[in-house]
Amino acid sequence: MAGETPITVVGNVVADPELRFTPSGAAVANFRIASTPRTFDRTTNEWTDGETLFLSVSVWRQQAENVAASISRGDRVIVVGSLSQRQFEKDGERRSSYEVKAEDVGPALKNATATVTKSSARSNAPQGYGQQAPQQPYGSPQGDPWAQQQPQRSYADEPPF
């Protein structure tokens, strides 16, 4: 993301993600989010909504497939990526549209819960300087130190205080 405008947006998905594939087979998912700022007005003692920002989001490769399978219209999400602007002409009028090229997309857990299931597809982790790392399933215990089960402890093992 060097030289690009980084952005993090929390908003609601406006329509289900559209998953497509390029002629070379790369997956891309496109969706739109709406983010509405809320401020507290101390004079009226009420919350007020600001103007809604609508942004297009594009996600590529394996993450595109994961996003299309995981989020849907109405879900609150957190999108991290780079912001780009595209100018075009419509009906003789110059217009702009903004798009986030997503680096990461995830559910916002402020008012929801989620269960994470690791994808068994290829890992997107970069390989170091031309060295080939041993291939292991992404969700395997050898590749994930947190997947190892901790020994069961009983309360009798605990100190009496």
3-state secondary structure of 65: helix
pLDDT at res. 137: 47
Buried-exposed string 58-76: b where 16+ CB fall within 10 A, e elsewhere: bbbebbbbbbbebbeeebb
Hey, what's the torsion of the CAs at 85, 102, 133, 117, to 10 degrees? -170
Determine contact, residues 108/77, Cβ cutoff 8 Å: yes
71, 73, 108 from 15: Cα distances, Å: 10, 5, 17
pLDDT at res. 74: 92
pLDDT at res. 4: 82
pLDDT at res. 145: 53
pLDDT at res. 138: 44
Hunting for tokens 């594009």 — which residue is that? Answer: 58
pLDDT at res. 113: 85
pTM assigned to the model: 0.66
pLDDT at res. 144: 53
Query: Over 74-136, what HEC string results?
Result: CCEEEEEEEEEEEEEEECCEEEEEEEEEEEEEEECCCCCCCCCCCCCCCCCCCCCCCCCCCCC
| 76's tokens | 């609150």
Phi, psi for 61 (deg, rounded to 5): 60, -140
Per-residue pLDDT of the chain (161 residues; tens, 9 = 90+): 567 889 999 999 999 999 999 999 999 999 999 999 989 889 899 998 889 999 999 999 999 999 999 999 999 999 999 999 888 888 999 988 889 999 999 988 888 888 888 876 554 444 433 334 444 444 445 555 555 555 555 555 555 55
